[in-house]
Amino acid sequence: MDIVNKLGLVEGWKRDGLTDEQIARNLGVSKHTLIKWKKNIPDFLDAIKKGKEVSDYELENALHKRAVGYYYEEETVTNKGDVVKIKKYEHANPTSLIFALKNRLPHKYRDKVEQEITNRNIEINIGDYVDDD
């Protein structure tokens, strides 16, 4: 197979979020073959990396927009039948904001607080026990 001619497809599939296994299936090869290509064909590995970088960047931008809020335009039809553009605002999404903060500033916004546990030897003396029953 001439994989060099398919680098654009591979990059696009990775950009669309496909896994290596799915890309291998699309190319009609095993995942093992795909791994060998990544090791032995620098252009193939570059296509995989480039597609993933674009996808990661788009996801980061989408998360950022949802976390801080954003303006967008929407077309609507008036009562008279005219199509007009309306500017709307999507408020910040608290879940997206929390997720972003926990991942970008984990030292400041983590769920679990780590506590240092120190070993202490404590001796407990219990007096004589008498069972009268």
Give residue-wise pLDDT tens across range 1-50. 788 899 999 999 999 999 999 999 999 999 999 999 999 999 999 999 99
pLDDT for position 128: 74
pLDDT for position 81: 94
Give residue-wise pLDDT tens across range 94-116. 999 999 899 888 888 887 766 77
pLDDT for position 113: 66
- The confidence band for 133, taking pLDDT boundaries of 50, 70 and 90, is low
Q: Kindly tell me if the per-residue pLDDT of 131 is higher than 80.
A: no
Could you tell me the sign of the dihedral formed by the alpha carbons of 77, 82, 83, 89, in that order? negative
pLDDT for position 18: 94
pLDDT for position 95: 93
pLDDT for position 57: 92
Mean pLDDT (whole number) for 39-62:
94
pLDDT for position 122: 79
- Distances from the Cα of 100 to the Cα of 16, 53, 89, 122, angstroms: 22, 18, 20, 44
